[in-house]
Amino acid sequence: MSKDPDYLDYNGLKIDPLIFTQGFVPACDLSICGGRCCHWGVNVDKPHVDVIMQYEDKIKEVMDKHQPKDSSEWFEKESHEDEDFPSGYAIGTEVFVSPQGLEKCVFNDSIGRCSIQVMAVENGMHKWAIKPKYCIMYPLTIVDNVLTCDLDHAERLDYCGTSHPENYTRTVFESTTEELKHIIGEEGYNFLNDHYIKHYKSKNIYSKESEEKI
């Protein structure tokens, strides 16, 4: 990623101003997209695999009959170096082929839900308690210590993707209030929101603000 002098800095994390201008849909809606952003799996901080595996049996309980129950098939065998993860190493979730012939993350169920999140909710935990960080963040991502929009995924997605601007009603920043507060805290969110109001809000071209569906 090339250096951009317009990046903001928050506690050492660089912020790409693209998050203030890139459009997004009113809300993630599995009834429309089926959770397609999950079809490639996700990279997980290496120690976080052990956290997820502490809930192995409970996750199996909420998986549908087609998802692989053999947990040796849930994660790649080898980790790889990645400085964007706290341990410096990441491991990918594996994919499987659904009855519809779609490759998708092993944790993605038949109606597009994440079994890790479903398990958490059904067991009284916060919905994101053990969900991989980069899944929580989407359509945001962090690449080379820059908080930005995940255009790699967005270019491949129907409904919310970059080839469907007709579906956009607001910016990625406006769509990810809860996610940003979770990732960089309330103070970090307020810092970004002040910047957004001062420099971007009046120029927002996505004026069709609408109700969230979820």
User: Does 173 contact ligand SF4 by CB under 6 A?
Assistant: no
Of the candidate spans 3-11, 20-28, 106-114, 159-167, the one that interacts with ligand SF4 by CB under 6 A turns out to be 106-114
The only residue of 23, 34, 41, 161 in contact with ligand SF4, by rule CB under 6 A: 41
Instruction: Compare residues 7 and 29 and give the one whose CB is closer to ligand SF4.
Output: 29
For residue 15, give the nearest of 154, 121, 142 by alpha carbon.
142
| CB burial string 28-48: b at 16+ within 10 A, e below | bbbeebbbbbbbebbbbbbeb
Q: What is the residue-wise DSSP string for 75-130?
A: B-SS-EE-TTSTTSEEEEBPEEE-TTS-EEETTB-TTS-BHHHHHHHHTTS-TTSS
Instruction: Compare residues 131 and 170 and give the one whose CB is closer to ligand SF4.
Output: 131
Q: According to CB under 6 A, which one of 38, 62, 120, 172 is a site residue for ligand SF4?
A: 38
120: contact with ligand SF4 by CB under 6 A: no
Which residues of this chain interact with ligand SF4, rule CB under 6 A?
38, 41-42, 93, 105, 107-108, 114, 116, 132, 135
